Every structure is written in C-alpha cells, then in structure tokens.
Amino acid sequence: MRTGLVAVAGRPNVGKSTLVNALTGEKVAITSNVPNTTRRRIFGVANGPDWQLVLADLPGFQRPMDALTERMQETVDGSFEDVDLVLFVLSARDRIGAGDRFVAQRVFSLGVPVIIALNKIDRLKHGHVATQMKTAAALGDFHALHPVSAVTKDGVGELRDDLVQLLPEGPFLFPREQSTDLTVGERVSEVIREKALHLTRDEVPHAVTVEIDELGEKVVRAFVLVETESQKGILVGKRGATIREIGTRARPEVEKLVGHPVFLELVVKVRPKWRRDPKMLERLGL
C-alpha cells in the first residue's frame, strides 16, 4: 500500500480546483473564474488498486486584505506541514511572473519533491506552451513538469501516474469510498455558492457565502449571505429571477449529494462585514 498527502499550491485562478477534480475523477471542489473561489483546504481523494492519493486543494497565495483572506493565507501556510510532495500549478495562459516566483520560493524550500503542472494548455499553440514550459522550468529544482489541461483532461493521466510514483508506503488515510473530507452539508453550501459566483460579478461574488439552515429529507434551506443591501438586490434580481436561477442550477447537484429529490429554498440575507468578523468566520468553518 502506498499513500501520501499532496499540497496543491499556486496563485489564485490558475485552475487548482479544476485540476484536483480531474485527478480524483469527481467534483470535490467548486470552480469559477472568480479569484479566491477556494476559501478553505479541501481534500480530494483518488484511489488505485494499491495506492491512495490525497490532494489538498488550497486557497491561492495572496496578501491578506481582511480576516477572511488572512485565515485563507494561514490555511495555506499551515497546510505545508507533513506533506509528502507538492503539486505546483501554473497557468499557461498567463505570464509567469513575480507571484509565481513567490510561491516557488515557498514550495521549493520545503525539502519534498515538487511536480509542476502547467495548466490551461488547451487552445494554445505548441510554441507558446514550449516557451511557458521553459520559463516554468527555471523556477526551481522540480521532479517533473507536466503540460496539462484540467478541462479537457489532456495530460492528467500522466500527471497522476507521476504523483503516484512518489507516494511513500503506508496505510490509506481515507476509506476507499470517500472522495473528500467535506461533509454533505459543506458540499451543498459550496455548490450553491458556486452557482451564485457564476451569475454575479464585480464585488458581489467575493461578498457571498452560504450557510445551511436545514438539511432534511424533503427540504434543504440555505441562507445566502452578503454584506450590503445593494449586493442583496443584485443577488435576488428583478422579481427574484437571479436567486431562482441559482436554485435551479444548484438543485440537481444538491439532490445528487443528498441522494434524493428535495425542495431547495434559498433565502438571501445581509450580514454586514461578515468577512471581517472572526466569530462569523468560525461559525462558517472558514
């Protein structure tokens, strides 16, 4: 038996969560084009005949702006303890610059193998990918460098094989049937938040969080929280159109998670400055 903990690190919005989902073969983390979609450490578990790969999907490296982002960065820093290897994710579509070099200094100083995944290579010319690979290779003493597309799964199998080869011997950390450490309630709240992110823009996505009020046999009720009345108006939409659309998009995934049909009730509430309230963040598990 071989098993190991892999820290998945990188700047915000390089596709870490999408790559974790591709490697595990299941949606364990929500995704969006909004930076800092991932707010907590999420374990995604991939199993083979005699191996288990535990991927720690982490928030992106950032300069803390409030209590929420401060906790997110603390999560990142604390998650490098006792990892067996690091999957360092870069975006092939963006310039590899100072932010990536900052992450590189941190991960290459850990003393564990580092595999670089150059993500988002789909629809890019080979010459551009080759240039980005050369730049990525200069970031540190890596074990392997894989150009991949988490969306199309191109190169993901080879990347998984390389990660598995580096796993140490040891017992499985999770039951074989478990794909993540999140509870059903936490996964439901994340799915609802994901749909809200897809349907809003500007400051609203950053101010949205979801709290489950009831997770019953027939009804799932969730509070969709924002910080201002204007954000609430945007999230509710004209005659409730936006919040209804969020519910419509979320319900199939929620029903899959709970295992049966439900009535999904979403209530938008204002919680001023919740991102700066340590007690509120503790209550939300952030």
Q: Exposed e or buried b for every residue in 201-234, given b needs 16+ CB within 10 A? A: eeebbbbbbbbbeebeeeebbbbbbbbeeebbeb
pLDDT of residue 205: 85
CA 229/CA 233 separation, integer angstroms: 6
CA 206/CA 187 separation, integer angstroms: 18
**pLDDT over 70 percentage in the chain:** 99
> For residue range 243-269, what is the model confidence (pLDDT) as tens digits?
999 999 999 999 999 999 999 999 999
CA Rg, the chain, in Å? 19
* Under 8 Å between Cβ of 6 and 54: yes
pLDDT of residue 43: 92
Name the average pLDDT for the chain.
Answer: 92
pLDDT of residue 32: 87
Lowest-pLDDT choice from 64-68, 164-168, 176-180: 64-68
CA 186/CA 200 separation, integer angstroms: 21
The pLDDT of residue 78 is above 80: no
Pairing of strands 209-215, 219-226: antiparallel
The pLDDT of residue 150 is above 90: yes
The pLDDT of residue 161 is above 80: yes
The two three-digit tokens of residue 59, written as one number: 């928030």
Pairing of strands 114-119, 85-91: parallel
pLDDT of residue 138: 96
Average of pLDDT values for 9-23? 93
CA 191/CA 106 separation, integer angstroms: 31
Residue 285 pLDDT class (50, 70, 90 cuts):
confident
Q: How many Cβ atoms are within 10 Å of 78's Cβ, its own excluded?
A: 10
User: For 174-178, which contacts have Cβ atoms below 8 Å and span 24 or more sequence positions?
Assistant: 174/43, 174/45, 174/52, 174/54, 176/47, 176/52, 178/45
The pLDDT of residue 67 is above 90: no
The pLDDT of residue 137 is above 80: yes
Lowest-pLDDT choice from 29-38, 108-117, 216-225, 269-278: 29-38
Q: How many Cβ atoms are within 10 Å of 168's Cβ, its own excluded?
A: 10
**Residue 244 DSSP SS3:** helix
* Under 8 Å between Cβ of 12 and 35: yes
> For residue range 81-118, what is the model confidence (pLDDT) as tens digits?
789 999 999 999 999 999 999 999 999 999 999 999 99
Lowest-pLDDT choice from 74-88, 98-112, 228-242, 271-285: 74-88
Residue 71 pLDDT class (50, 70, 90 cuts):
confident
In 3-state terms the chain splits into helix, strand, coil percentages (rounded to 5) of 40, 20, 40
Q: What are phi and psi for residue 3, nearest 5 degrees?
A: -150, 155
Average of pLDDT values for 67-83? 79
The pLDDT of residue 14 is above 90: yes
Average of pLDDT values for 2-17? 93
* Under 8 Å between Cβ of 72 and 62: yes
